[in-house]
Chains A and B, each alone.
Chain A
């Protein structure tokens, strides 16, 4: 009987059985469903990676840039910095929520401002990261089977860029435009060097070797002998510079697809988080929540913002560390 009475009291309406308001619960439900969406993406990435476990690109070779340090190999540092920025903006957000609980308007404004700045820096960093990824660094050849051939110097053991050895062959070939030929056939931008020019340059430089996508026992890319390299070179069908959704010079094509998709989707979350934060920030300045008597709205966007940080923790691990 007591149990029944307690049951009616808790769930019978008129009170908050979970001790959370409607808005907060809905934000939590959204976060749970969004977490499942992101885990779907990340697990799909894991699927493709396990499927190609012996030829997946090595993250340390892909993300090597740091602002103002040109040509210096700095893997991980920049993305680590981005992680710290996002964690720190998460902290300022939770401080804003805390100040809201104490109805300190000035502090809420200050901390939300810092949060917005942190989010903006993070989105900007991600854009920079994308720019480097799309632009590429060394360039590569692609075989008919879609395998990427990269180049390295046998003497130094360092990667070699196409521009440093590719030959030059006079050719009247230019990018085909609809206006100058078949109007129904288009063509993307031609690569800086043709396959023949790269092959010629490779044959002329005796100290060059080919690196394939395959990982060897030490988890490094397999380097072919000079004869095998020349043989592989004859199978090349295209030059790849940088990365897009179809080709990528870093190795497996799926790597670029998942990179663009998952970090893009996360970046979109950060971007919308910044926009929502700005709206709430303006509301705080105008005193909306002061009049309402509580700052729960700040708490709700805070939940979303922390979630974005939470997802980044996983993206960071699975794209850059593992």
Chain B
């Protein structure tokens, strides 16, 4: 196979591995740490993180950011996007990072509007 040359550095070269297997275990440890942090925060729910930030709880922002970090390492190291040509990388990643945030924006803005209508309208939904 042509892809014998794996890129073995993660965290922008901060952490270099000697072999591909080592990198896989390293990424597993990293993903496990992130998941453990998520579960810990999910169970404890520290009170200071309940403050609102950009219309959402700070805790929820942390969860979402950690999720995207995890998704990045699964795609980049387990699915080997790191080793692909940049054209292929863009072909895979760009449609997703453009379309999904767009969809999120329009649907959540609409849902927020409907919430306001249901709350401030003159119809009772709780009977």
Which chain A residues have a beta carbon within 8 Å of chain B's beta carbons? Answer: 17-20, 25, 28, 31-32, 35-36, 39-40, 43-44, 46-54, 60, 75-77, 80, 83-84, 87-88, 90-91, 93-95, 98, 101, 143-145, 147, 212, 214, 219, 235, 294-296, 302-303, 306-307, 309-310, 313-314, 316-317, 320-322
B127 touches A91 (CB 8 A): no
Chain B positions 55-108 with a Cβ under 8 Å from a chain A Cβ? 60, 63-64, 66-67, 70-71, 74-75, 77-79, 84-85, 87-88, 91-92, 95-96, 99-100, 103-104, 107-108
A36 touches B38 (CB 8 A): no
B39 at interface by CB-CB < 8 Å: yes
- Give min CB distance, A60 to chain B, whole Å: 8
Query: Interface residues of A: mostly helix, strand, loop or mixed?
Result: helix
Count of CB-CB pairs between chains A and B under 8 Å: 148
B96 touches A32 (CB 8 A): yes
A20 touches B92 (CB 8 A): no
A319 to B9 Cα, complex, angstroms: 33
Interface residues on B, range: 35 or more
Residues of A within 8 A of B87 (CB): 17-18
Residues of A within 8 A of B66 (CB): 317
- What are 9 A-B interface contacts by the 8 Å CB criterion? A28-B88, A36-B99, A40-B103, A43-B108, A91-B28, A94-B24, A303-B79, A309-B74, A321-B60
Residues of A within 8 A of B91 (CB): 18, 28
- Give min CB distance, A310 to chain B, whole Å: 5
Q: A87-B32, A147-B126 are in contact. Are A20 and B84 (CB under 8 A)?
A: yes
7 nearest A-B pairs in the assembled complex, by CB-CB distance: A50-B111, A145-B127, A18-B88, A80-B39, A317-B67, A47-B111, A51-B111
B53 at interface by CB-CB < 8 Å: no
A145 touches B39 (CB 8 A): no
Residues of B within 8 A of A306 (CB): 74-75, 78-79
List the A residue with the shortest CB-CB distance to B79. A306
Q: Besides A36-B96, A314-B67, 20 other CB < 8 A contacts? A: A20-B85, A28-B91, A32-B96, A35-B100, A36-B95, A54-B115, A75-B43, A84-B32, A84-B35, A87-B35, A91-B78, A98-B21, A302-B79, A306-B74, A306-B78, A310-B79, A313-B67, A313-B71, A313-B74, A316-B67
